[in-house]
Amino acid sequence: MPLTIRSNRSTLTQFLIEERRRHPSASGDFNALVLDVALACKGIAKAVAYGELAGMTGNHASESGASVNVQGETQKKLDVLSNEVFMRRTEWAGNLAGMASEEMDSPYQIPAQFPRGKYLIVFDPLDGSSNIDVNVSVGSIFSILRAPQDVIDSGRDVVDADFFQPGAKQMAAGYALYGPTTMLVLTVGTGVNGFTLDPTLGEFMLTHPMMQIPADTQEFAINASNARFWEAPVKRYVDECLAGKTGARGKDFNMRWIASMVAEAHRILMRGGVFMYPRDTKDPSKPGRLRLLYEANPVGMIMEQAGGRASTGEMPMMNVQPTSLHQRIGFVFGSKNEVERIERYHREPVQVELTNPLFAERSLFRD
């Protein structure tokens, strides 16, 4: 067992205090909030690790059977537990004016017995929940915003519109990955740093300082079962990747799809790649699968802070003006040059002649 305590690795607390020295006027509230979020993630990591031993797999049951969240998705027991852990660990300290999450229809008001603060947190307590019961990596995603000044001054209850801030306004963003190791990946606007949870000490230790994403890649991630619903620019991009050396790209590409966005984001942060869950024609009422405020914006900020790029396919994700708490959006992120290529394909006129037989009329996918 490595004696991490003897190592010269920084703990998360140490890292945050050193960061705070850059802002002498800072009150420390921000650091305290990030540490409360980190504690919540440690608790969720334990619950995920116990799994069925603690009866933590399967669907969450309400009086009327399996409970469904505002997205119409069946809630897993760990979805509900993780949501509660985030609330309990962050509501009490006086750093928050309010919070919102994937598992709650409307914003959660800080209970009267606790002081209210100047920050908002919006989070996906457990991302990739379709993978929980099959023991594949899942994660938690969070975004920290500054509450509007009138909220801070009046202490009033928060409303949906208080969270409608473009990604560029985020004070911090991060995710925890519950995989072979538990990691916390965090940006406070000065680059991206990765911390590994030392299971003995129970401390997040700085193991991946100043993470950077390679600008180029030969690895893409997309759910190919949606191919018939893709728009032409995405079909063209994937078509060219699949054509490999024989096609316009002149190089072979590999494909990955874990169906846990946090795990895909982490792989891309570690070795490059491009992730696409684009807007498609599958369900016109849903302009995408992933949610803007607690999936696309925080992961987007991390990608941009690590030298990558985050986009809707047509515009920078960080410039999108939110209009609803649980709005969905097409999301493309990863290695800068590939994301820019996909954006260019969205600007260029649609090519009529599709070269790859895979997507041509008479293709393998025909029923």
The reply on whether position 129 binds ligand FBP by CB under 6 A is yes
Position 92: which residue type?
Answer: W
The reply on whether position 128 binds ligand FBP by CB under 6 A is yes
Is the CB of 51 or the CB of 191 nearer to ligand FBP? Answer: 51
What CA–CA distance (Å, rounded) separates 358 from 303?
A: 31
Among 234, 261, 329, 332, contact with ligand FBP (rule: CB under 6 A)? 261
Stretch that binds ligand FBP, among 114-122, 232-240, 257-265, 348-356 (CB under 6 A): 257-265
Is the CB of 73 or the CB of 160 nearer to ligand FBP? Answer: 73
Write the interaction track for ligand FBP spanning residues 142-181; mark x where CB under 6 A is met and - where it is not.
Answer: ----------------------------------------
Task: Convert the chain into a string of H (helix), E (strand) and C (coil).
Answer: CCCHHHCCCCEHHHHHHHHHCCCCCCCCHHHHHHHHHHHHHHHHHHHHHHHHHHCCCCECEECCEECECCCCCECEHHHHHHHHHHHHHHCCCCCEEEEEECCCCCCEECCCCCCCCCEEEEEEEEECHHHHHHCCCEEEEEEEEECCHHHHHHCCCCCHHHHCCCHHHCCEEEEEEECCCEEEEEECCCCEEEEEEECCCCEEEEEECCCCCCCCCCEEECCHHHHHHECHHHHHHHHHHHHHHHCCCCCCCEEECCCCHHHHHHHHHHHCCEEEECCECCCCCCCCCEEHHHHHHHHHHHHHHCCCEEECCCCEHHHCCCCCCCCEECEEEECHHHHHHHHHHHHCCCCCCCCCCCCCCCCCCCC
The reply on whether position 259 binds ligand FBP by CB under 6 A is yes
Site for ligand FBP in 264-293 (CB under 6 A): 277, 289
Task: Count the Cβ atoms, other than its own, within 10 Å of residue 71.
Answer: 15
Among 124, 162, 198, 239, contact with ligand FBP (rule: CB under 6 A)? 124
Stretch that binds ligand FBP, among 34-42, 185-193, 253-261, 339-347 (CB under 6 A): 253-261
What are the tokens at 186?
């965090």
Stretch that binds ligand FBP, among 125-133, 198-206, 241-249, 335-343 (CB under 6 A): 125-133
**Residue 260 Cβ vs ligand FBP, minimum distance, rounded to whole Å:** 5
What are the tokens at 159?
């409303």
Is the CB of 12 or the CB of 132 nearer to ligand FBP? Answer: 132
Is the CB of 151 or the CB of 296 nearer to ligand FBP? Answer: 296
Applying CB under 6 A, the site for ligand FBP has a residue count of 13
Site for ligand FBP in 52-81 (CB under 6 A): 73
Among 7, 27, 190, 223, contact with ligand FBP (rule: CB under 6 A)? 223
Is the CB of 10 or the CB of 137 nearer to ligand FBP? Answer: 137
**Residue 104 Cβ vs ligand FBP, minimum distance, rounded to whole Å:** 13
Among 103, 127, 198, 219, contact with ligand FBP (rule: CB under 6 A)? 127
Q: Which residues are 109's β-sheet partners?
A: 98
**Residue 190 Cβ vs ligand FBP, minimum distance, rounded to whole Å:** 27
Number of residue whose CB is nearest ligand FBP: 261
> Is residue 85 a contact partner of residue 178, using CB atoms and an 8 Å limit?
no
Position 185: which residue type?
Answer: V
Stretch that binds ligand FBP, among 30-38, 190-198, 235-243, 258-266 (CB under 6 A): 258-266
**Residue 293 Cβ vs ligand FBP, minimum distance, rounded to whole Å:** 12
Q: Which residue ranges make up the site for ligand FBP (CB under 6 A)?
A: 73, 102, 124, 127-130, 223, 259-261, 277, 289
